[in-house]
Amino acid sequence: MTASTFRRRILVSIGLAVALPTMVLAGLGILLAMRISQAIDSQSARYHLYMAQQVTESFEQELLAHLRESITRAENASRAGAQGPALAATLEPRPPEFETAHLATLDELSDYFMLVVESQPLVYGFDRDRHPGQSYAGLMLRDSKGQVIGAGGWWFRPGRFLVDHLRTVMEDRLPSQERIYGGIESIRNVSVLLLGPDGREMGRVRSPGGMRNAAIEPLTGPFEGFAVRVTSTPFAPDAWTRGFVITEVTFIGLMGLAVLAATWFGLRYTAHQIELARIKSSFVSNVSHELKTPISLIRLAVETLEMRRFASPEEGEKFLRRISRETQRLNQLVDNILDFARLEAGQRTFRFAPVDVLEMIHETVDSFRLRLEDQGFALEVDLPDELPPVRGDAHALSQCVLNLLDNAMKYSRGCKEVRVSARAVDARVAISVSDRGIGISPHDQRRIFEKFVRLETGLVHDVKGAGLGLSLVDQIVRAHGGHVEVSSVPGEGSTFTLVLPAGGEAQSRQIEPTAQTGS
Ligand code: ADP
């Protein structure tokens, strides 16, 4: 298992250790909230049905109470022996709820129905021809011997009675069972609608908060055809529990998402820190190697020259060239490290002055030519006759071109061709260094400008370097108000272009350290 696979596995394990329980707990929380809401819903449905039955029964009781109150005179007269029209006359004057008094004889009673309300028979009936839209309601009348001699009662309009007595029924008859179901439901939280035979609303007590869990109960007896619909008001516990559950589920969901997002960012940060630690440790070993190699070569060449262990003056010349080349390489590396340290500390100062770009490129290329030729590179320099000057630090700009040339040389394989060109474009000067080397994948093209970053694929692995060159180039060019462009095709080569504003108004200034590796 490679170190990076191991790292990845550790991070995935940590991620799962946090994310999985979070998701499970959030899921359980949501499930629990929904179960509670469902339980309250089903309790409400049962309560509404119960209430609907209570309301219908209460109407019958209300009617019975009215009849009882009004029929006492007739009952007394019957017990005293009154019969026929004399008895019928005692039913007048009629109570205001009723319309026509009627004394039903024993024979007639077969045309009526009977309903037992509070253990008392309530006689009722309909006569669509003579009393359209009306119901008959009466109570049994007995004579002095206790024999039933008929029923005394009145024709009345059931719809009107229901509408008139809806509020009384709700307020006087039902509060005795105000709190049931452990106080969750209460009569104050139900809305009752009275529905006519055509299904239309005739009256209501409190507005409904929606038609969920609505219970419809038909009325019977003299109120046949009518119905009551009972449902929750907007302030009923089941209504606000539903709102509460929705808020709760949203809240738990958002909390779960926040934890997942925090885990994600935490893991990214940890991964980044681990990567940074790895990069830094490999940086130390890379720099040691980069320093040691030229020093060893220089020492070897100096010893050879000291002991005159060379066959001809040309061979001696070769060793001198090697010393010069390796010193230059060493110098460039030390420059890079020092500059990097200054940039990190915010102490890198640039001295801006008009820079003759053509002259700067020529001098840089000349100082590098020896290294290129020794490695067998063909160098093509393609420069125009004239270029506008750039305001900048000539030494820093030359260091940029040197770093690009060094990379072009390092990351070329068999095709040893390097090209340096420059051109003026729209008040800007573009300096390009191209090679026909290993190239860089589009994904890596963004990363290579971060400090310490070295690509770990392909040939790059064999090439030594400190991972500072491009980071420095990028920072220096940005301090000049420009930017670096890269175009590259893996396996075909790369072109790095420094784009600098021509003329410019840059002045001597320091630049702040950047935290590039963070991206
Ligand atoms: P170093 O060369 O010391 O590794 P740099 O910052 O100069 O550091 O470059 C960063 C990485 O970018 C290199 O390790 C290499 O992988 C890649 N790179 C830079 N220049 C080239 C190039 N011309 N061709 C291909 N890869 C390059």
CA–CA separation, 442 and 452 (whole Å): 19
Say what the pLDDT of residue 516 is: 42
Question: How confident is the model at residue 237, as a pLDDT?
Answer: 75
407 C-beta closer than 6 A to ligand 1: yes
Q: Which residues in the chain come in under a pLDDT of 70?
A: 1-4, 175-185, 456-462, 504-519
> Ligand 1, residues 329, 336, 405, 407: which to mutate, most atoms within 8 A of Cβ?
407
Residue 415 CB–ligand 1 contact under 6 Å? no
Q: Which of 454, 456, 457, 494 to mutate to test the pocket of ligand 1 (most atoms within 8 A of CB)?
A: 454
User: Alpha-carbon distance 192 to 214, whole Å?
Assistant: 10
Nearest to 233 by CA among 192, 195, 196: 192
Q: Cα 78–80–83 angle (5° rounding)? A: 45
Mutate to test the pocket of ligand 1, among 404, 409, 470 (most ligand atoms within 8 A of CB): 470
Rounded Cα gap, residues 158 and 156, in angstroms: 6
Half-sphere exposure of 31 (CA within 13 A, CB side): 6
- Asked if residues 123 and 151 have their Cβ atoms less than 8 Å apart, the reply is yes
Phi, psi of 473 (to 5 degrees): -55, -50
Structure tokens at 324: 């010069």
Given this model, what pLDDT does residue 10 score? 79
pLDDT at residue number 462: 65
Q: How far does the centroid of ligand 1 lie from the alpha carbon of residue 282, in Å?
A: 15
Ligand 1, atom nearest to 437 Cα: 24
Tell me, using a 6 A CB cutoff, whether residue 438 lines ligand 1.
Answer: yes
Write out the two tokens for 450.
Answer: 């971060």
Distance 487 CA to ligand 1 centre (A): 13
Is residue 141 within 8 A of residue 121, CB to CB? The reply is: no
Ligand 1 neighbourhood includes 36 CB (under 6 angstroms): no
With respect to CATH, is domain 313-506 assigned 3.40.1190.20? no
Domain with CATH 3.30.565.10 in the chain: 313-506
284 alpha carbon – ligand 1 mean position (Å): 17
pLDDT, tens digit, for every residue of 476-519? 999 999 999 999 999 999 999 999 999 854 444 454 554 443 33
**Is the C-beta atom of 470 inside 6 A of ligand 1?**
yes
